[in-house]
Amino acid sequence: MPRSREILPIVVSLVLFLILEGAGFIMLRKSSSLQGMWVSRVTHHFMAGVWGANQQVGRYFSLKKENDRLAADNHELLSRLQACQKALSDLASEQRVQELQKSHDFSYLPASIVKISRNRQHNYFIIDKGSDDGVDARSAIITRHGAVGIVDAVHRHYAYVLSFQNAEVSVSARLGSEGAMGPLVWDGHSADGALLKEIPLHFKFEKGDTVYTSGFSSVFPPDIPLGVTGDSRIVNGAMHEIKVTLFQDFTALRYVTVVENLGREEIGLLENE
């Protein structure tokens, strides 16, 4: 009780002080136009600071929503790009299987990575899309910078993806727009390094040539830029093995696109026959 009696006068004094300060500002503002302008400027400056702080807090809490929107926009742009590339390409093959591989449709689904492993020989990541979203095993995972993995297992809301930085994963790749094709694999140690293998010796190439997905697989769409060529060596006296610097920075991997080959089953049936 004595402590409450000590605090009460302090509270009353503080409230009275604030009331008097407010009254003083009002009287100062009304006393002359110059003083009123000065008080208005101070008030507006204070309100602008409060509004700016509220805006910064709002932006911070809306970052996830903004990132999801950007991922959806990237997915839409990628879909349009693939549609244009398909419409412009005229690479029909003499065999029905190759024709399907060049002309079949793909579906695209944006996704986010919820868990990822690095610094192993068998790296993986998990995405927030699963069978309920239409994801199937053997679906391709890409970004606008390249091919990054293949779906290995699917649950209702999540999918387990073998990263390109995995010793078990290879991508059918092509040198330039019409060059030789071979398997592209991770070099096993660097974040942006890969090896393009089994390129016959008679094919010519130069450092800095772009490497693309070939389209001759039932997983990845054709003509996705993957990286650029570097040094090479001859293996077993018959084939080039070419170092490739990837466009995709795997240390910054967060948003991806799931690509489903709608003609994969038909291609598989033809191959089995």
Q: Are 70 and 219 in contact (CB under 8 A)?
A: no
Please state the domain extents for the chain: 2-61, 67-272
Q: Is 1.20.140.10 the CATH number for 67-272?
A: no
Q: pLDDT tens-digit profile of 87-139?
A: 554 443 334 434 434 445 788 999 999 999 987 889 999 999 999 999 999 89
- The whole-number pLDDT of residue 91 equals 42
**118 Cβ partners below 8 Å, 6+ apart?**
165, 250, 251
The residue ranking higher by pLDDT, 71 or 230, is 230
Type of residue numbered 175: L
Residue 147's nearest CA partner among 133, 131, 163 is 163
- The whole-number pLDDT of residue 60 equals 55
Give Cα 186 to chain centroid, integer Å.
19
Q: What is the dihedral of CA 156, 157, 163, 168, to 10 degrees?
A: -10
- The whole-number pLDDT of residue 120 equals 84
Going from the C-alpha of 249 to that of each of 70, 88, 191, the distances in angstroms are: 18, 29, 7
Whole-model pTM: value is: 0.62
The residue ranking higher by pLDDT, 32 or 74, is 74
Q: Are 196 and 190 in contact (CB under 8 A)?
A: no
Q: pLDDT tens-digit profile of 176-206?
A: 877 899 999 999 988 899 999 999 988 888 8
